[in-house]
Amino acid sequence: MEELTSTHLRYLLAIYQIGKLEQDVCSTSISEFLNVSGPSVSRMLGVLAQKNLIAKKRYSKIYLTDKGFLLARELDKNVALLKERIPRMGIPMTDEKIEQAAVALAALLPGKQSI
């Protein structure tokens, strides 16, 4: 099994979340969503495509493969659970920091980062 890094999972989750909001996912929307450069997005999309987690279609549209969708959906569920639980810890955090912490923690959960 191949290990997926937290960065791989962060991009996968971003594609999943953008796809829930917009009909088409493109590299520009990923770049804006994650606040990263276009070249960084291009490199990561290449990696995710090699791992058969995404497919790039005409006009730069990006889609999750079945494998990518299942993994991203599971990750999204874990992030949602963590976002509910983190505030209960009593640590003062902004919503943005809670989101970042939840994604980072979800990426570390056993068995969720292998394909």
Count CA within 13 A, CB hemisphere, residue 60.
8
Using pLDDT thresholds of 50, 70 and 90, give the confidence band for residue 18: very high
pLDDT interval class at 111 (50, 70, 90): low
Alpha carbon of 25 to those of 50, 81, 93, 107: distances in Å?
A: 18, 25, 30, 22
Sequence-distant contacts of 96-104: CB under 8 A, at least 24 apart: 103/6, 103/9, 103/10, 103/13, 103/79, 104/6
**Fold observed for domain 6-108:** Arc Repressor Mutant, subunit A (1.10.10)
pLDDT in tens, 34-81: 999 999 999 999 999 999 999 988 778 999 999 999 999 999 999 999
Domain ranges of the chain: 6-108
Crossing angle for the helix pair 27-34 and 38-50, to the nearest 10 degrees: 110
